[in-house]
Amino acid sequence: MARIYRGTNFIIRDVSLLPFSTARCLTTLSPLMKQKSDEVGYLKGARAAERSIRLMSKENSKMPLDIGLLEKTFITPTGPNRPSIFKSPLSVLAIQRTRLVSRIRDIVSVLLCKFTSPKATGLWDRTFNLNRSSIVPTATALHRQMYTAFAEGDDITLRNICLDGILDNFRNRIANRPREEKVTWELIRYNKSPKLVSNRAAKTPINGMLLRQAVVQVCSRQKLTRYTKVRGTSQLKLIQGSGKEKDIVEYVVIQRIYEQWQPNNWMIWGTAQETSLKDIEEWKNV
C-alpha cells in the first residue's frame, strides 16, 4: 500500500472528540493511481499542519474540512494481511478483540451524536439522522464520479466531491498530463457488493458542529486507457501498456460535516488501508 502523509494532528481529550490520523493512503494497485518511476511525493498533501480543532474553534468558530482520518479507524484485515489462526492464534485473537471494541465504540459515537442533538418531531426523532442505508450507495457513486472526473480532467466535479488533500494531488497530476494525451476510465464490474466497514462520528467544541466519517470497501474490476494524438492528425493512438483490466480492492473514506446540526454533502477524503497488528500495538500506546 502507498501512504500519503499529512501533518494533521488534532489534540482532543473529550471522550466524544476523537483524535485524527495523519495517514492518507491510496492503493498502488489502482490503474489510476499508478505513478511513474520519476514521480516524487505521490498524492502527498500540500498543506501545512493544522492547529487543533479546539484552538481553531476558539479563534473563528470554523472547522477545516480536510482534518484527517479518525484515529483508530479499524478495517478488518483480509487475505495475506490476516494472520493464520493455526500459526498465530494470539494475533487472530488480538484482531478480533480490537474489531469488537472498535465496532462498539463506533456505534456509541454515532448514537451519542444522535441523542445529544435537538429533538425533532416524535419521541425518538432527532435532528441528527443516522441514514446508514444511504452510505454505501453514496460512497460508490462518489467513487465513480471521482475517477471519471480525474480521467477527464474535470476540475469542477473534483472540487465538488473531493477534500483538499486528494484534490490538490489530482490537480497536480492533471496539470502534469501531456496536452495531447486523452484518458478514459471504466468500471467494468463490482467483484462483490460494496460493504460498509466503518461508520463513525465525532463531536467538536462548536455547538451543533459534528464530523462523520465512513469507510466502504469497494472490490471492482477497472480499466484505465490512455491515448495520444497522432502528430499532424486528429486521430488517437493507444498508449502501449494501458487499457488493461485490473481487479482492485479499495477502502473509500467519505466524510461529511454537520453545521448547526445540518449535514453538508458527503465528500471523498481518500482511501484507507487494512488495520495491521503493528497498528493495533501502536494504538495501545496512545
Q: Which three cell numbers stand for residue 256?
A: 461529511
Q: Is the pLDDT of residue 126 over 60?
A: yes
From the list 264, 259, 251, 52, the residue with the least C-alpha distance to 163 is 264
Write the CB contacts of 51 (distance below 8 Å, at least 6 apart in sequence). Answer: none
Note the pLDDT tens digit of each residue in 221-233. 999 999 998 887 7
Does the structure show a pLDDT above 60 at 40? no
114 or 52: which carries more pLDDT confidence?
114
Q: Is the pLDDT of residue 29 over 60?
A: no
Q: How confident is the model at residue 67 (pLDDT cuts 50, 70, 90)?
A: confident
E strand or H helix that includes residue 26: strand 23-26
Taking CA atoms, 279 is separated from 10, 94, 283, in Å, by 19, 11, 6
59 band by pLDDT with thresholds 50, 70 and 90: low
CA 45, CA 284: separation in Å to the nearest integer?
Answer: 27
Q: In 143-286, which ranges are E strands?
A: 181-190, 195-203, 210-229, 236-238, 245-259, 262-263, 267-272
Over range 56-74, report the average pLDDT. Answer: 72
pLDDT over 90 (residue 60)? no
Average pLDDT of span 272-276:
94
Mind listing the domains of the chain with CATH numbers?
Answer: 2-46+68-73+133-274 (3.10.450.240)
Phi and psi, residue 213, nearest 5°: -130, 145
State yes or no: pLDDT of 34 exceeds 60.
Answer: no
Q: Using 50, 70 and 90 to split pLDDT, how confident is the model at 62?
A: low
Q: Quick check: 65 pLDDT over 80?
A: no
Distance CA 87, CA 185 (A): 41
Highest mean pLDDT range out of 1-10, 18-27, 113-122, 128-137?
128-137
CB-based contact 266:51 (threshold 8 Å): no
- Residue 149 CB coordination number (10 Å): 21
pLDDT of residue 230: 85
Q: Measured on CA atoms in the order 133, 135, 139, 141, is the torsion positive or negative? A: positive
